[in-house]
Structures are given as structure tokens and as C-alpha cells.
Amino acid sequence: MRFENNKSGNGGVITLNNELKEIGRLTYTIFPEDSKFIISFVLVHPEFEGRGMGKYLVEEAIKFARENNWKVYPHCSYARSVMMRMNDVDDVFLNR
């Protein structure tokens, strides 16, 4: 599996792919003036659901945000539920 981060302007898409096709994607928006990274949407294609692939996408987004000193606001309800169960995100998690 490999991640690709396609950033364009103040937004972008992180995709997770296997050797044959896309497994899922996470869309985001960045507000650099507020040091804020917003997770807008997480999608895992049906044939890959139930295997933790969505969590991998959220973890990759958190890694990207940390590299840029941004706080993460999970607008997406799935991303929010994943982050609320994680123990190591207090440094970046914007809960509101």
C-alpha cells in the first residue's frame, strides 16, 4: 500500500492505493493563517471496507499536519470518531 498526497492550493486529496487500484481517499482544506488542517471527507471503496483503511488515511493526514505544525479539525464524522479513540493526538486534535 502507498499514500499519495495531491495538494493544490489550500486543499488536497490523500489517496491510499494498492498495486492495482485506489483503496480510498481523504479530502482536506488548509487554513495556513490559522495553522488549521480540516479533514473534510474520508472514503473507502466498498471492497476494502472493514479493514482499517479509513483509519490509515486519518493517520496519514495527522502525520502530514504534524509535519507542517497544523492543528487538525475533523469535520468528517468518521475522522472525528477515529481521532476520539486515538491516544496520541492531543497535540494536534481540535475538537471544535
The pTM (predicted TM-score) of the whole model is 0.95
Q: What confidence tens digit (pLDDT) does each residue in 14-42 have?
A: 999 999 999 999 999 999 999 999 999 99
Residue with cell 497544523: 70
As a whole number, the mean pLDDT across the chain is: 96
Task: Read off the pLDDT band of 95 (50, 70, 90).
Answer: confident
| Domain 2-84 listed as CATH 3.40.640.10 | no
Sign of CA dihedral 10, 8, 49, 52: negative
**What are the extents of the domains in the chain?**
2-84
